Amino acid sequence: MGIKTTYTHCRICEPQCGLVATVEDGRLIGVRGDPEHVNSEGFLCTKAAGAIEVAYDPDRVTRPMKRVGKPGEFEPVSWNDALEDIARRFTSTRSKWGADSLATFVGNPPAFSYATSMWLAGFQQTLGIRWRYGINSEDASARLVANALLYGSVAIAPKPDLWRTRHAILIGANPLVSHGSLVTEARFREALDSIVGRGGRVVVVDPRRTETARRYEHLFVKPGTDAFLLLGIIRTLVDEELVDMPFVDNHTQGFDALVDAIQPFNLEECAARSGVSAAEIQQLSRDFAAADSAVVYGRTGTCTQRFGTLTNILQDLVAILTGNIEREGGLLFGWAAVDLGSFARASGLDTYGKVRTRVNGHPDVYGMIPSTDLAVDIITPGRGQIKALALVGANPVISSAGGGPDLAHALEQLEVSFSLDLYINETNKHADYVLPVAHFYERDDVPLGPALNMLRPAIWATEAVIEPRGEARQEWEILNEIAQRMGHGGAYPIRPLHWLAKLGYQVKPRQMADLLLRTSKVGDRFGLRRSGISFRKLVRDHPHGKKLMDELPTGQLNQKLLTPDKKLPLSTPEMLGELVELGRHSDDRRYPFRLIGRRELLSHNTWMHNVPRLMPQGRCLTALVNSEDAQRLGLADGGEVEITSASGSVRVQATVSDEVGAGTVALPHGWGHSGGWNRANSAGGVNSNILASSDREDIERLAGMSILNGIPVSLAAV
Ligand SMILES: Nc1nc2c(c(=O)[nH]1)N[C@H]1C(S)=C(S)[C@@H](COP(=O)(O)OP(=O)(O)OC[C@H]3O[C@@H](n4cnc5c(=O)[nH]c(N)nc54)[C@H](O)[C@@H]3O)O[C@H]1N2
Ligand SMILES: Nc1nc2c(c(=O)[nH]1)N[C@H]1C(S)=C(S)[C@@H](COP(=O)(O)OP(=O)(O)OC[C@H]3O[C@@H](n4cnc5c(=O)[nH]c(N)nc54)[C@H](O)[C@@H]3O)O[C@H]1N2
Ligand code: SF4
Ligand SMILES: [Mo]
């Protein structure tokens, strides 16, 4: 006992920052950034320490809880009783209605546990669960579908080579607050600074003058109109003959059809629709083409809009038409020791549209169907109606456009449901059971998923820092045991593990991860390569991580592309169809303002509002309203504003600020709590997704994305 220092890494968001943890008598008392860590080099944010307060939060669920009354009324039960009852009821529902009555819903946090990811996939396979809902329709599905249409697989994802590029357009991303997404780089800011340091430009296209926009160059864009801006850039490239024609001739097809398809979008219209002047569009286009290397990096701001997939495709086309792909400083397909993307492709898991939702027909994207369909799929009678649900680290009542009262109501119709979570939240308070899970400081990990997105390839593994609190167990153990109690060997992700289980050998996720590491490009091949790695060697010999490459490899275009002819298709039918829709679409004129989101440094989606450190006195939810608009509306700073969309209405405090342009209003998501987290409940605020629509005509057509940015709204002073 006494004071001990160990190494771990944060698992709240994508950089997975390396941490030095101090443990006193078995209690975690502090974390600081690990200055020697190969990737984060000492960087961390307040949330890593906030997570300690989550671990010891008196409101955390630390015993299995059984619903005994109204939503949110739970009583502790034994693990045995909970698991037995869940297994029995899942079995009975399955035999009564078939396997198509079972569903899972996975949120964001489980993505940062290798063990949960593996065993959840196993649970789904073992039980024959087809309906696999998830939160990617509020996040990245549009990006993944763009990957499928351009590169031949959802699992082939371009990353911006920020450390070497000379020009970066950041569109719909705010990495100085989000710390980067689909890019694992704790030193994101330094990477962007390095571009300016090399004499290049960083241009941030955003309807709000964000933290990132303030540090670099900012172009205001009208919410939801990025496709027009990008078309303007592409028009200029074509009209001014700035396209890299040798590259286009060698590596693409469909250029002429693309040129035809963009004819209806002239520069003046693109400027008028996007709010960026024609001169600025032209200059941006010329500078991009003239730069030695250049990238476009977009993230949730361009995914969660009406033309999300189209916008993601156009982003990449700007880079492709200038030859900025798979070359130094351009978009790169990345490299990881354990290439789970290749694994997914080889096993046929990189699906798009293999499963379609029962009522609305929305496609799965990389095995996940949109959150917005869950409620309708529960309440609509008929074959495949959902009767049993497993929620894994998810809070869609707040986080999804398909949430709110409709989903809350639908959840009450289920025959049986359980949730694996740290808290009773606004969603699982409707479940029959909430089962306590280990916090990330309470389990080992290896960032196999995030490694695919690293700009500086590295790998590390860490052990649990503290014991699970109370009766908490790891997700995989719980899923495994439910599968066993339902008469299966376990929740095994691959078939041979079921055979081994029959012989009495129960494989665990740790052994699977170790196998992947040891047989990887840098593995020890079980002793055949002495300098190679294993899970144990990473923990023991590389507490600050092991650097694998200084920078990403280039020149893999032909090797990586999975399109049939190994060419980049510049004008797929899907994209051409969306261009036609874009030209045709007009928003409802009764709602003249446009709502966008606003991620805050001290929030993490819906789940960190119970942390004292992150909720200082007086912190509350406010909407940013432009000063001209405020004046016209008679709205004072700090006054209450009513925001109304076709889907709903909320009242919230206004902050008058020219951070947003006229006509734009910015409201963070993830507030308006009524779960088992008392501080969060008393923080007030509203669920901004009440304003988002889950109607079929308001769902992005190619990827099933929710429209969370650019929502037409009206404002009124209260
Ligand atoms: N309007 C609007 N809505 C948005 C967004 C937006 O920008 N605007 N962003 C979207 C995005 S990008 C995302 S990813 C989603 C997130 O949506 P969700 O994943 O639904 O919400 P979270 O708040 O991330 O967390 C869900 C639950 O996970 C629990 N949890 C935390 N750690 C663990 C763990 O280790 N294990 C388990 N089992 N549970 C854990 C938390 O207690 C919480 O109850 O929200 C989306 N919603
Ligand atoms: N502190 C904190 N960090 C987080 C999270 C968190 O909740 N809090 N969540 C994590 C998760 S799950 C994710 S997926 C990542 C997301 O990472 P990012 O996507 O980088 O995060 P956002 O802040 O949502 O950035 C979206 C940006 O798009 C802008 N935007 C909105 N509408 C439009 C539009 O129409 N056009 C353009 N061009 N821009 C628009 C917004 O103003 C915002 O600046 O962040 C992660 N990091
Ligand atoms: S940036 Fe993300 S991973 Fe790093 S310390 Fe903050 S929350 Fe954790
Ligand atoms: Mo996300």
Gap from CA of 668 to ligand 2 centroid (Å)? 10
Rg of the chain over all Cα atoms, to the nearest angstrom: 25
Rounded to whole angstroms, the Cα distance separating 301 from 598 reads: 10
Evaluate: CB of 668 within 6 angstroms of ligand 1: no
Backbone conformation region of residue 349, classed left if phi is above 0, alpha if psi is from -120 to 50, else beta: alpha
Domain ranges in the chain are 65-138+340-451+458-547, 154-334+555-579, 586-717
Evaluate: CB of 71 within 6 angstroms of ligand 3: no
For the CA atoms of 53, 54, 58, 60, what is the dihedral angle to 10 degrees? Answer: -170
Q: Which atom of ligand 2 is nearest to the CA of 300?
A: 19
Rounded to whole angstroms, the Cα distance separating 103 from 355 reads: 13
Gap from CA of 533 to ligand 4 centroid (Å)? 31
Low-confidence stretches of the chain (pLDDT < 70) are 1
Evaluate: CB of 301 within 6 angstroms of ligand 2: yes
Rounded to whole angstroms, the Cα distance separating 133 from 119 reads: 16
Probe ligand 3: pick from 16, 37, 45, max atoms within 8 Å of CB?
45
Gap from CA of 53 to ligand 1 centroid (Å)? 18
Q: Which atom of ligand 3 is nearest to the CA of 19?
A: 5
Evaluate: CB of 393 within 6 angstroms of ligand 1: yes
Q: Which atom of ligand 1 is nearest to the CA of 427?
A: 44
Residue nearest to atom 40 of ligand 1 (CA): 393
Domain 154-334+555-579 fold: Dimethylsulfoxide Reductase; domain 2 (3.40.228)
Evaluate: CB of 614 within 6 angstroms of ligand 2: no
Return the number of other C-beta atoms located less than 10 Å from residue 84's C-beta. 14
Residue with tokens 């949120």: 107
Gap from CA of 222 to ligand 2 centroid (Å)? 16
Residue nearest to atom 4 of ligand 2 (CA): 178
Gap from CA of 440 to ligand 2 centroid (Å)? 23
pLDDT 10s digits, 27-86: 999 999 999 999 999 999 999 999 999 999 999 999 999 999 999 999 999 999 999 999
Gap from CA of 460 to ligand 3 centroid (Å)? 16
Q: Which atom of ligand 2 is nearest to the CA of 301?
A: 28
Gap from CA of 175 to ligand 4 centroid (Å)? 13
Evaluate: CB of 422 within 6 angstroms of ligand 1: yes
Gap from CA of 435 to ligand 1 centroid (Å)? 17
User: Strand pairing of 640-644 and 649-656?
Assistant: antiparallel
Lookup: tokens for 674: 């009524």
Ligand lying nearest the CA atom of residue 172: 2
Rounded to whole angstroms, the Cα distance separating 88 from 486 reads: 7
Ligand lying nearest the CA atom of residue 611: 1
- What is the pLDDT, as a whole number, of residue 587? 87
Evaluate: CB of 185 within 6 angstroms of ligand 2: no
Q: Closest Cα partner for 404 from 683, 606, 592?
A: 606
Return the number of other C-beta atoms located less than 10 Å from residue 81's C-beta. 12
Residue nearest to atom 25 of ligand 1 (CA): 394
- What would the DSSP string read from start to end of 581-645? HHHH----TT--EEEE----TT--TTS-TT-GGGS-TT---EEEE-HHHHHHHT--TT-EEEEE-
Q: Which atom of ligand 1 is nearest to the CA of 692?
A: 1
Evaluate: CB of 708 within 6 angstroms of ligand 1: yes
Domain 65-138+340-451+458-547 fold: Rossmann fold (3.40.50)
Ligand lying nearest the CA atom of residue 404: 1
CB half-sphere exposure, 437, CA atoms < 13 A: 27
Angle of helix 308-321 relative to helix 226-239, nearest 10 degrees, comes to: 20
Amino acid (one-letter) located at 709: N
Probe ligand 1: pick from 178, 303, 399, 400, max atoms within 8 Å of CB?
399
Evaluate: CB of 108 within 6 angstroms of ligand 2: yes
Evaluate: CB of 136 within 6 angstroms of ligand 1: no
Is-contact 625 659, C-beta < 8 A?
no
Q: Which atom of ligand 2 is nearest to the CA of 605?
A: 7
- What is the pLDDT, as a whole number, of residue 411? 98
Evaluate: CB of 608 within 6 angstroms of ligand 3: no
Q: How many residues does the chain have?
A: 718
Gap from CA of 18 to ligand 3 centroid (Å)? 9
For the CA atoms of 122, 128, 129, 130, what is the dihedral angle to 10 degrees? Answer: 120
Enumerate the β-bridge partners of residue 219: 205
Enumerate the β-bridge partners of residue 651: 642
Evaluate: CB of 314 within 6 angstroms of ligand 2: no
Evaluate: CB of 85 within 6 angstroms of ligand 1: no
Rounded to whole angstroms, the Cα distance separating 330 from 323 reads: 8
Residue 712, SS3 per DSSP: strand
Q: Which atom of ligand 1 is nearest to the CA of 420?
A: 38
Rounded to whole angstroms, the Cα distance separating 329 from 296 reads: 11
Return the number of other C-beta atoms located less than 10 Å from residue 388's C-beta. 25
Ligand lying nearest the CA atom of residue 399: 1
Q: What angle do CA 335, 338, 341 make, to 5 degrees?
A: 70
Ligand lying nearest the CA atom of residue 187: 3
Q: What is the pTM of this model?
A: 0.98
Q: CATH for 586-717, among 1.20.1250.20, 2.40.128.20, 2.40.40.20, 3.40.190.10?
A: 2.40.40.20
Rounded to whole angstroms, the Cα distance separating 307 from 146 reads: 11
Q: Show Cβ contacts of residue 345 under 8 Å, excluding neighbours closer than 6 positions.
A: 153, 155, 562
Evaluate: CB of 142 within 6 angstroms of ligand 2: no
Probe ligand 1: pick from 422, 423, 429, max atoms within 8 Å of CB?
422
- What is the pLDDT, as a whole number, of residue 290? 98
Evaluate: CB of 392 within 6 angstroms of ligand 1: yes
